[in-house]
Amino acid sequence: MSIIPSSICYVEIPAPDIEKARIFYSSLFNWEILQSELTDQKYYMFKTGENSLMGGLDSTKSVSDQGVLLYLKVEKIISTLEMIEKSGGKVVRTKFEIGGGYGFSAVFADPNGNHLGLWSEK
């Protein structure tokens, strides 16, 4: 049996307040976000810039901080955390160094309460 190589190709973020999520992610991280015509429910599809990862904001899913933690690559964690707080998000864990020289990280909650990580080289 062989292992099939794969990569993350799509991510769904629960967004009970979908308009707040749309504004938060498009303004902070410059994601291209468009309303989907594929479903009757309120659903937005997004495309991230650098690596073109696609995903969706789903108004029918509930928020949990017990699931997978996604990390967003940023230039400067502290200034990003400041912008997150000004945009309605909350800092869950402030910037910390990852051992072994792997950079720095932090965790935040978006306006709906989803936890996401930040990663930076410095």
Mean pLDDT in the chain? 90
CB 118 within 8 A of CB 105: yes
Q: Name residue 79's amino acid.
A: S
pLDDT confidence of 111, banded at 50, 70, 90? very high
- Residue of higher predicted confidence among 7 and 77: 77
Domain map (residue ranges) of the chain: 10-120
Whether domain 10-120 has CATH 3.40.50.10860: no
Average of pLDDT values for 60-84? 91
CB 10 within 8 A of CB 70: no
Q: How far is 62 from 46, CA to CA, in rounded Å? A: 19
pLDDT in tens, 4-21: 676 777 899 999 999 999
